[in-house]
Amino acid sequence: MNADNDNRPRLMTPAEAAAATTFSRAMLSIMATDGRFPQPVPLGERRIAYVRAEVEAWIDGRIAARTA
């Protein structure tokens, strides 16, 4: 997908990342801490987001690993 033509935000909320992966927000946090999921970007003192391209690449990797 060409990012120049993508109108979606570059960042996704933890809820959006959870919906995209079917993991809970808490599980994504644990996995990110363990290095098994992309690290969130701190946006403020109590706000984080995930980089959409990194989450989508992680999902693509899981799909690719299934056939390997």
pTM reported for the whole predicted model: 0.86
How do the domains of the chain map onto residue ranges? 9-67
The model's pLDDT over 3-55, given as tens digits with 9 standing for 90+, comes to 556 788 999 999 999 999 999 999 999 999 999 999 999 999 999 999 999 99
- The burial of 23, by beta-carbon neighbours within 10 Å (0-12 exposed, 13-18 middle, 19 or more buried), is given as middle
Q: Which pLDDT score is estimated for 8?
A: 87
User: CB-based contacts of 12: which residues, under 8 Å, 6+ apart?
Assistant: 20, 49, 50, 51, 52, 55
Both tokens assigned to 46:
């109590």
pLDDT for position 21 = 98
d(CA 37, CA 44): 21
